[in-house]
Structure 1
């Protein structure tokens, strides 16, 4: 039985047992430690993240598709969200929790491993988030899904956290699968070798399993569909041609680290080739669309023949009867 399935079956008791076994500590509210928190940097990042993501809000739409047949599509925030923050990564707290609040999510619950929880809790306190738990690993994901029962779980983590997110996905939506961090540098003609080295070294800091690749053409990069794509030299001209990447950084003065920490663009991005079909975390991650349909008597009369013909073809006689009013 997996950690997640054990928590699904036994609840808080299982969470406590796994936390003691793996974290060496019982689940508890994290106590803020402001001693090492770069407060102004956190505030600056949060301001840019909020402004950039607020601009992403999709418009509600209304269309009278036929006389007397009106459709509306409205975007509404989720009621609750669980945010997983890897050890010490206050920037990830900002990328997830600030965006959730900007979207209008009312209940935001943060989990982070006990080691380093004080720093994350300090950043949360600075930004006005009150609920941070010193609870890490798969047990945190299971707790968010099956004890707190949040509407969605977001945030990156290691292989075990990612596996746990994929396991709960059938019951609680997640943002996206996340694996080892990646960068592909397209070093076109005239690219500065020193800039290439800087980007590779920065990405390698994420660990031995980080993907650090240098190619010479966009086609090679597109085949990989990386989390981060850097275009240097003549490759800068290809920025508008990119289809498969989580985030694109163009030119000598656009390091990936600026996006990780400062620009306001989100750094929770698809890895492992998922950028072919999935984008990074954005405001829409915490929103859901609802369609509202209104028909007048005249509108129903107009669409009734369509309903009757299709219902007959599909053998659904009650559907045809339902439009006889």
Structure 2
């Protein structure tokens, strides 16, 4: 893990350091385009072939139905069931608070305007299941989709070696009222939901994290105009700011929690203390050896770095340029830093608030913008599953009041028919 001094870095150095570009991005893009095109033209035939090629399983059908989902869910260990129940309750409580009706506004006497929310009718949820099975993602996507009132929720997840899903995902499906899970993974799942096949329904918006293939596929179908996506979300990342009040062992655990996601994950440490950096990196090596996913985490750590800053102002400046998916403020003085945070997906405050809590059960959503997109995107929420429609009503008095304004502006733009739509009503 390299260590940089912020004061020694030029503006260009910082931009380069914060870049998430990977050398083989163009190669990945080419492969994904081939997969997406195959699914678009061959439909289910391509999905069966990719299940055999990529997942190493020969499927008899591309989904499992309600009865089988319930049977698999019934095998979940009691301890895991209770944990999922707790996470479900917390996530639901947090997201339910986002549902509200906006008030109607009278912009001038007799002119009333308002907005109403409508759920996106058909949404697709991609639940990763490759190197790590993620029931937490199912909850993070499924709960707001259900609360928003989406009429059709299509769930895709890679099949296990037996062609089925695992008990954790099945139990989440039961909790959410999802009756069918499509055993389709990777870029092919995104393509199937975007274009539709004989088996997999076409949706209007696709949600869910994934590897670089999934991310590229989402961006490709978005560019094709076939469907919307939640956000560009690539390899996961965390930036930890740690000052002299931080515990190096805690900080190391947070860096490794991120690193074990995948070899292309990034775990960035920013600190005002060279000693904290040194002790944290020592702890990283100690804790790394105890991880089952040591090899994966070690690769991610090798590709990550630490930045020594002179003060918190530099720390927040760097963080806002990096725009992390997850930002951890490992400091007792976190309250003073909150107003300085401009770009971040989700923020974890203090030495006792690890990213893991938000990943699983505190209530906030863990589907967040990566690769610097936190500068322009928010994480998934109820708002992600709805659209707002504006309404307006004008009374006779309102038409008299607003009419001349519209006539003058329409005439100024040379749009006589627009002006006449007002004039003809005023004359009546």
Gaps of 5+ in 1: none
Q: Could you tell me how far 1:86 is from its partner in structure 2? A: 0.3
Output the TM-score relative to the length of structure 2.
0.72
Moved more, 176-185 or 7-16: 7-16
- Give the paired residue count: 325
Q: Which has the larger radius of gyration?
A: 2
Q: Secondary structure at the match of 1:190?
A: coil
Output the TM-score relative to the length of structure 1.
0.94
Aligned partner of 1:232 in structure 2 is: 330
Tell me how far apart the structure 2 counterparts of residues 286 and 220 of structure 1 sit (CA, whole Å). Answer: 32
Aligned partner of 1:321 in structure 2 is: 420
Q: Do the aligned residues in 2 keep the contact of 1:231 with 1:239 (CA within 8 Å)?
A: no
Q: Could you tell me how far 1:297 is from its partner in structure 2? A: 2.5
Question: In the alignment, is residue 44 of structure 1 matched against residue 44 of structure 2?
Answer: no
User: Of 252, 260, 279, which aligns to 1:197?
Assistant: 252
Q: Could you tell me how far 1:238 is from its partner in structure 2? A: 0.9
Cα RMSD over matched residues? 1.9
Moved more, 88-97 or 9-18: 9-18
Instruction: Give 1:59-78 correspondences, 5 Å limit.
Output: 59-78=101-120
Tell me how far apart the structure 1 counterparts of residues 242 and 318 of structure 2 sit (CA, whole Å). Answer: 11
Moved more, 79-88 or 19-28: 19-28
Q: Could you tell me how far 1:234 is from its partner in structure 2? A: 4.8
Q: Do the aligned residues in 1 keep the contact of 2:47 with 2:184 (CA within 8 Å)?
A: no
Decide whether aligned partners of structure 1 residues 9 and 58 sit closer, same or farther in structure 2, where only a CA change above 3 A counts.
farther
Aligned partner of 1:277 in structure 2 is: 376
Decide whether aligned partners of structure 1 residues 186 and 311 sit closer, same or farther in structure 2, where only a CA change above 3 A counts.
same
Aligned partner of 1:167 in structure 2 is: 220
Q: Could you tell me how far 1:292 is from its partner in structure 2? A: 0.7
Q: Could you tell me how far 1:158 is from its partner in structure 2? A: 0.7
Aligned partner of 1:28 in structure 2 is: 62
Q: How far does the alpha carbon of each residue in 1:249-301 deviate from its partner, in whole angstroms, 9 at most, with x for none?
A: 11111010011111011100110111111110011111110111111233223
Instruction: Give 1:231-310 correspondences, 5 Å limit.
Output: 231-236=329-334, 237-310=336-409
Tell me how far apart the structure 2 counterparts of residues 307 and 196 of structure 1 sit (CA, whole Å). Answer: 60
User: Of 203, 217, 221, which aligns to 1:150?
Assistant: 203
Q: Secondary structure at the match of 2:229?
A: coil
Q: Secondary structure at the match of 1:198?
A: helix
Gaps of 5+ in 2: 1-32, 272-314
Tell me how far apart the structure 2 counterparts of residues 259 and 206 of structure 1 sit (CA, whole Å). Answer: 15
